Amino acid sequence: MDLQIAEQKVNELRNLLNQYGYEYYVLDKPTIPDAEYDRLMQELLEIEAKFPELKTPDSPSIRVGGEVLDLFEKVEHRTPMLSLGNAFNEQDLKDFDRRIRQAVGDDFSYVCELKIDGLAVSLRYEDGLFFQGATRGDGTIGEDITANLKTIKSIPLRLRENVTLEVRGEAYMPKRSFEALNKAKEERGEELAANPRNAAAGSLRQLDPKIAATRNLDVFLYAIGGSGENYAASHSEGLNYLDHLGFKTNKERRKCTTINEVIEYVTSWIDKRPHLPYEIDGIVIKVDSYEQQSKLGTTAKSPRWAIAYKFPAEEVVTTILDIELSVGRTGVVTPTAILKPVKVAGTTVGRASLHNEDLIREKDIKLGDQVVVKKAGDIIPEVVNVLADLRTGEERDFQMPTYCPECESELVRLEGEVALRCINPKCPAQIREGLIHFVSRDAMNIDGLGEKVISQLFAEKLIADVADIYKLTREQLLALERMGEKSAGNLLKAIEASKSNSLEKLLFGLGIRHVGAKAAKTLAQSFETMENLSVAKNDDLIAINEIGAKMADSIVAFFEQEEAGELLKELEAVGVNMAYKGAKPVSAQESDSIFAGKTVVLTGKLEQLSRNEVKEKIEALGGNVSGSVSKKTHLVIAGEDAGSKLTKAEQLGIEVWDEEKLLAELNK
């Protein structure tokens, strides 16, 4: 196949795939089998691999995910993405209606739309081509997630008209995608995602777009950004125009002329909500006319012409069958109510945390009680109250134990705490939870070694402390349930790779009480080696900014334990790094670098260093790296394809360097 024939074939395949994708992902009316779509996509990928010069920014092949990113660039929204005021009941809606009528009279209408429970995004198109996508962020500055948004198949890469505009919408994870994600996580022994909203947000903030591509996200576009009057006279007409351009909008919207019609629409969705294939958490009500929206204006935080009705948390009645106790990593004993399974806000709930003994007493909870349960924030199940009037006399008081349910050591309540705590360092539950913490993302970050696998290894007595993780063999792993040859090999590679982590990862993973990830980094930077830290005195520790007396006492106490010294020797013997590998920061006063005391902003693509590398080097020289350009910015480093940050820097008269000048200064 020569270049000319390849180009013709590529154009034909792109047109077909774009049309089939629109029918499937936007109209929800597929016209060809999935297998045929996959065959055409594979053919396109093969031709583009052979003729890379034919690959364009709007090719459907981009949907599979591109290169891994170093970090997300900050994006300043041209028009702020304001939040909405909330209404929680019928009276709030009537008050909103009264304010609208006082401002614009009685001749207006509303548009009611489902409030999708996802992540707000902004999409920019230049001459009809998808140019940039960003998160809402704080409303003024978001993060550039263009590469991840391109993996969402319902987002058009090229519009049906060559227009330049910005649109706003909600990216979300459909219920079926959420269920598939959690099923895969469960099989890998990983912690399950809490809800579709968090899962969608986490997927779009993956630095590897290929991961986002596997999450099967979707989107509804709900507004034209900036001045919608350039394209339509009203919000409802604007949504119709988005449909015409090839965007996916939510068809459940309704135009209403009175607040009573709005209330009827809102009420109807309280019951219909669970039957949708995606999560919603309310209804958005907007004045339809753009002219009237402009007259009503906005406050500093929200438009006066729109409001979000938030659904009340669904409350159901069920029975407390039992109260189960669990022991955490720090020895805290937490009671959990075992409930007669009941459906709440779309999912079946069988457990609810009771937090501590004081809460049980405060709510007068007994075994066998009928209780009201809801999901706090539509996420976490909680017991609201007891229906004491329904008691039969067969209910039983619950007594917190005086001994640990795992190791039978005596429980204590430390001064100033409400929790009962097991202080036996050899408690199996604490050891198991400590192992799970050690391998977690913010600690040693051992991919594939999740809670389920750790529990299996611990139950089989293959690991008793964190050092044992580094002594695991392929044969031991293959003996575990659902552990295949490939998984075992990948896990051993991940364990080996974690040995080279910088000191702060190990420090956080050890679970020293009161030492979080940030404090671990500060300690690692200050003491540089585990040996130096292990002999530090209270005064040495307190002298460090951010380290208080309570944390210092805890650190000293940890290293005074004989078991801690032995564990560290074991870890060192198996090759775990005990030194800080990052750049050691210096204060602006200590540094004679040109970066000392300066605020620096990075923009565009750098060829020789990653963003993280540059950030660490500048901070090590006493500088501060910021994500946005302002009057307080001293210097902007601009790589290739630098965008709005460079423009703003030039407008403000801020000094701009290219990568060559940056490298020359760093190499001095």
List CB contacts of 552: < 8 A, sequence separation 6 or more: 538, 541, 542
| C-beta pairs of 175-180 under 8 Å, 24+ apart in sequence | 175/277, 175/278, 175/279, 175/346, 176/216, 176/277, 177/215, 177/216, 177/217, 177/218, 180/216
Three-state helix/strand/coil letters over 273-293:
HHHCCCCEEEEEEEECEHHHH
Pairing of strands 370-376, 347-353: unpaired
% helix, strand, coil for the chain, step of 5: 40, 20, 40
| DSSP structural state of residue 403 | B
Residues in the chain: 668
Q: Give 327's strand partners.
A: 333
Burial 58-75 (b: 16+ CB within 10 A, else e): ebbbbbebbeebbebbbb
Does 115 participate in catalysis according to the annotation?
yes
Pairing of strands 421-422, 411-412: antiparallel
Q: Is 232 exposed, middle or buried (0-12, 13-18, 19+ CB in 10 A)?
A: middle
115, 375, 452, 645: the catalytic one is 115
Q: Is residue 602 classed as helix, strand or coil in its secondary structure?
A: strand
| Residue 141 and residue 228 in contact, taking contact as beta carbons nearer than 8 Å | no
Sign of the torsion angle spanned by Cα atoms 108, 255, 26, 302: positive
Structure tokens given for 502 = 């910088």
| DSSP structural state of residue 24 | I
Cα(62)–Cα(72) distance, rounded to whole angstroms?
18
Structure tokens given for 227 = 């001045």
Sign of the torsion angle spanned by Cα atoms 276, 281, 283, 289: negative
Q: Is residue 142 classed as helix, strand or coil in its secondary structure?
A: strand
Q: Is residue 256 classed as helix, strand or coil in its secondary structure?
A: strand
| DSSP structural state of residue 386 | E
List CB contacts of 659: < 8 A, sequence separation 6 or more: 606, 607, 608, 609, 637, 639
E strand spans, 399-527: 411-412, 421-422
Cα(534)–Cα(564) distance, rounded to whole angstroms?
10
Residue whose token pair is 């190990």: 506
Sign of the torsion angle spanned by Cα atoms 41, 43, 45, 51: negative
E strand spans, 19-164: 74-76, 85-87, 110-116, 119-126, 129-135, 141-143
Cα(8)–Cα(13) distance, rounded to whole angstroms?
9
Q: Is 228 exposed, middle or buried (0-12, 13-18, 19+ CB in 10 A)?
A: buried
For the annotated catalytic residues, the residue numbers are 115
